[in-house]
Structure formats: structure tokens, C-alpha cells
Chain A
Amino acid sequence: MSDGHLFNSISLGGRGGTNPGQLRVHSGGIVWKKQGGGKAVEVDNSDVVALTWMKVPRTNQLGVKIKDGLYYKFTGFRDQDVASLTSFFQSTFGITPEEKQLSVSGKNWGEVDLNGNMLTFLVGSKQAFEVSLADVAQTQMQGKNDVILEFHVDDTTGANEKDSLMEISFHIPNSNTQFVGDENRP
């Protein structure tokens, strides 16, 4: 297939950091290949359930959510790429990407949103960060108000970050009514 758009420096983000690669968006779907071979991601357009754009420092991030709950995040799009890809997605996938905003205020209080495998921490309804519950090895309650998420330690997946998140805990005050009665999830 020769239709579509090719982008040469798009990184795939996830647990372990980011990997540089090449992304092709064509009428049949989205294909990302890691630079130098190895990991590849192929998404059929019929499996895409939602697309998102988010402005991140110096660039743009495309979120691709697929049927089985997986959520890929590709970073490295210029503003003009966002415009051209948005119309391409609308005309060929029939999906209008949603715009998300990144919170950079540095506050540690907000809301938690659980959607599929993703846990999103929102500050003032903007996204501060996301983690995948699929990478959580263990969840623990500490006292009545704290939930600890422990992440898998995996040294084999080519993690390229220097510092790796091992644990994060959330404090849910009694005044919060969102997650009452569910001790397995924050």
C-alpha cells in the first residue's frame, strides 16, 4: 500500500520509557516499527476504537486505543502533522481524534480515571500522567485510605529509561466518594 503518511521519528511510549521508530498511517491501519528492527506494532483500522491528540513538551502525542483495551502512545508529530492526520483519520477511519490536555501545574491532587487498562491521574480535568494496570504486579491497601500499586520489575524489555517507576501510592481521603467500597482498585 502506498497511500497514507510516513513519519520517520516517532517514538512509542510505555513502561520502560520510549523507543524511537517509524510510523506509517495508511487506509488499512497504523504500523510502527522500532528503529533498527525488533518490536513492531500493527493496528488494523477496524480495531481502532478511539484516537487522541495531546500537546506534550516540544511535540504532539497520538493516542491509539484498540478493541482489546490496549492503548498505544506515539510521540513526535509536528503541528502540521496533527492537522493532516486528523483529516486523514476522519476520512479513512471515520474517527475524529479527541483533544486531550496535559497538566503541567505540578500539583499532587486531582482525580483518578480508570478506563480499560489505563489509570489516568487528572489535575483540573487535564491529564497529569497515565499508567497501565497491566504492568501492576501487586495492589495493596495501606490503612483505610491508601492504595499502593507495585509495578513489575522487567529488565528484559529493553527499558531505556535511567530511573524506573517501581511503586506509586494514592491517598483517597474519606471525603472522596468515587471509589467507596472497592478495595481492589484505587
Chain B
Amino acid sequence: GSMDNRGGVKPSGELIAYKSVNDLPPPRDLMIQVDQKREAILLPIYGSMVPFHVAMIKSVSSQQDTNRSCYIRIIFNVPGTAFNPHDTNSLKFQGSIYVKEVSFRSKDPRHISEVVQLIKTLRRQVTSRESEKAERAT
């Protein structure tokens, strides 16, 4: 497995994936999708595609077992972790519960490694853009 522990993206209250239900890509197969334009990942949960903005993601990794099964683990930013000590959300959204981690099993290792790469690239782009924005603002 590989880990991307770059960290540094503060979950921003302003970054949202979709404004309305019909902005979501047409439902395809129930598999993890990456929407590069909207900087979102879509996860199949109970027959629905559930979006998460890539800025919410802290790290993504994959693993393959001997049974030709493949696993992907996505860890989200939560307040109080080492990477976002000054997280404004924990103040802004006090009392919230966070989705911290999800893991999926897949029958298609090629698809999973593609997803991991896409998420990492997208995450890097968003991280550098947002930190530039933050620098300009100071």
C-alpha cells in the first residue's frame, strides 16, 4: 500500500462539491468515481453515489490481498489532528460529527489504483491552490 500523508488542506467551509442534486454526474455503475471538474469523489453507499469534496480528504491508500481483492481506504480531515491544528471548522461547527474514514473492497485493482492516483493528483492541485489563496489573503 501507499500513503499520501501530505496533509495541510484545511477543510474550508466554502469549498463545496455540488450546488444542486442535478449537478451530479449521471449515475453509472456503483463504483467509486472521481469528478475532476468538481474536485469531488463519489462513493457508492447503499445504492447511492455520495459526494465528498477532495479538500475534505487527508489521505488515501490502497492494498491488495492474496484473494485478488483490493481495498481502498480514504481518511478525511477531522479537527484535532496533527495536520490541522488551527482548524477553523472545529470552532465554526462545534457539535458536529465527522466522517473520519471509509474503506471499500473492490474486485478491480486497476480501477482502484487509478482512483488513488486521481485523488492524490486532485488533492495536490486543490492544496496548492488553497494555500496560495490563503497566502494572498494575509
User: Do A169 and B100 touch across chains, with their CB atoms under 8 A apart?
Assistant: yes
Residue numbers in A under 8 Å from B20 (CB-CB): 104
Please, how many angstroms separate the alpha-carbon atoms of A129 and B112 in the complex?
22
User: Do B24 and A173 touch across chains, with their CB atoms under 8 A apart?
Assistant: no
State whether the Cβ of A160 lies closer than 8 Å to any Cβ in chain B.
yes
User: Do B100 and A57 touch across chains, with their CB atoms under 8 A apart?
Assistant: no
User: Do A164 and B90 touch across chains, with their CB atoms under 8 A apart?
Assistant: no
Partner of B101, one of A17, A112, A168: A168
Q: How close is B14's CB to chain A, nearest CB, in angstroms?
A: 10
Residue numbers in A under 8 Å from B105 (CB-CB): 153, 163-164, 166
Please, how many angstroms separate the alpha-carbon atoms of A47 and B107 in the complex?
38
Residue numbers in B under 8 Å from A112 (CB-CB): 97
State whether the Cβ of A172 lies closer than 8 Å to any Cβ in chain B.
yes
State whether the Cβ of A84 lies closer than 8 Å to any Cβ in chain B.
no
Please, how many angstroms separate the alpha-carbon atoms of A125 and B83 in the complex?
28
User: Do A57 and B17 touch across chains, with their CB atoms under 8 A apart?
Assistant: no
Q: How close is A11's CB to chain B, nearest CB, in angstroms?
A: 7
Please, how many angstroms separate the alpha-carbon atoms of A165 and B46 in the complex?
8
User: Do A108 and B31 touch across chains, with their CB atoms under 8 A apart?
Assistant: no
State whether the Cβ of A14 lies closer than 8 Å to any Cβ in chain B.
yes
Q: Which of A28-36, A38-46, A87-95, A175-183 contacts B (4 or more CB under 8 A)?
A: A175-183
Please, how many angstroms separate the alpha-carbon atoms of A177 and B48 in the complex?
29
State whether the Cβ of B77 lies closer than 8 Å to any Cβ in chain A.
yes
State whether the Cβ of B26 lies closer than 8 Å to any Cβ in chain A.
yes
User: Do A105 and B16 touch across chains, with their CB atoms under 8 A apart?
Assistant: yes
State whether the Cβ of A81 lies closer than 8 Å to any Cβ in chain B.
no
Given the known interface contacts A129-B45, A129-B50, A161-B30, the answer about A169 and B23 at a Cβ–Cβ threshold of 8 Å is no
Interface residues of A (CB under 8 A from B): 11, 13-18, 55-58, 73, 75, 102, 104-112, 121, 128-132, 146, 148, 153, 160-173, 175-178, 186
Q: Top 10 closest A-B pairs, CB basis?
A: A106-B17, A13-B47, A161-B30, A106-B53, A162-B31, A104-B18, A171-B100, A57-B24, A171-B78, A109-B96
27 interchain pairs (CB within 8 A)? Answer: A13-B46, A17-B47, A18-B47, A104-B18, A104-B51, A105-B53, A106-B56, A107-B52, A107-B53, A109-B11, A109-B98, A112-B97, A129-B46, A129-B48, A130-B45, A161-B44, A162-B44, A162-B111, A163-B30, A163-B108, A165-B103, A168-B103, A171-B99, A173-B78, A175-B94, A176-B95, A178-B95
Interface residues of B (CB under 8 A from A): 11, 15-27, 29-32, 40, 43-53, 56, 71-72, 76-80, 89-90, 93-108, 111-112
